[in-house]
Amino acid sequence: MLKDKVAVVTGGSRGLGKAIALKLAENGANVAVVYAGNELAANETCEQISQYSVKAKAYRCDVSDFEATKELTAQVIADFGGIDILVNNAGIVRDGLILSMKEQDFDAVMNTNLKGAFHMIKHCYSHFMKKRSGKIINITSVSGMMGNAGQANYSSAKAGLIGLTKTVAKELAGRGVTCNAIAPGFIATDMTDKLSDKVKESALAAIPLKRMGTPEDVANLAVFLAGEQSNYITGEVIKVDGGLYM
């Protein structure tokens, strides 16, 4: 379905990003795996991608750094010959109640989760315009739609990502480029594994489907949004949350 397409996945070395990278590769896409610090995990992801007989390469980059993302984008285009799909998945958490949240923790989450996506879109913008095609997929969260106590920074960044998604969709629609967002709920990843049993039980009780989602649940939607079947869908925020937020 995505044969010969080139996908860039930020935060692609583990969790949701890894699942998305693998699923895109399974469907024929060549993948640039962008990671922040875990080189071993990124290389392992690339090795797993290679089983699908597509090209994969890992790139270390702090997406909160404007110049670094500019260099990254140029390098990927040079290495792969272009970019067709951009998945903005990179994200961090620095949870805490506003009363105790440090300014640097708020800024760090905003700079990575929201500004990082802006940087990547900014540097791919003219490339997509010239190609008159492109698929941008932003990984937001239901926390950005409903809020979540103890996550003022994370929820704000993810809410901002929704606004960015809709704006980019309007700006690039005339060039045949789509931009959509996926809003996962509670997904079984390293991040959710760190939650206490009490928090997990409370979460499951609030989910109508009575289970956490899997990274593959999110990855399947990402593949759809990256393919031609979604050509007439743009500016949308699609929840993958088991009915948590309706």
- C-beta neighbour count of 231 within 10 angstroms: 11
- The residues with which 86 forms a beta bridge, in sequence order, are 8, 136
Q: What are phi and psi of 20, to 5 degrees?
A: -65, -45
63 Cβ neighbours under 8 A, 6+ residues apart: 10, 34, 36, 69, 90, 112, 116, 117, 119, 120
Encoded amino acid at 199, one letter: V
Helix (H, G, I), strand (E, B) or coil at 139: strand
DSSP string for residues in 158-214: HHHHHHHHHHHHHHHGGGTEEEEEEEE-SB-SHHHHTS-HHHHHHHHHH-TT-S-B-
Where in 41-192 does DSSP place strands (E)?
56-60, 85-88, 134-139, 177-184
Would you say 87 and 20 are in contact if contact means Cβ atoms under 8 Å apart? yes
**Active-site annotation holder among 52, 59, 125, 154:** 154
Please indicate whether residue 52 is annotated as part of the active site. Answer: no
User: Residues with catalytic annotation?
Assistant: 154
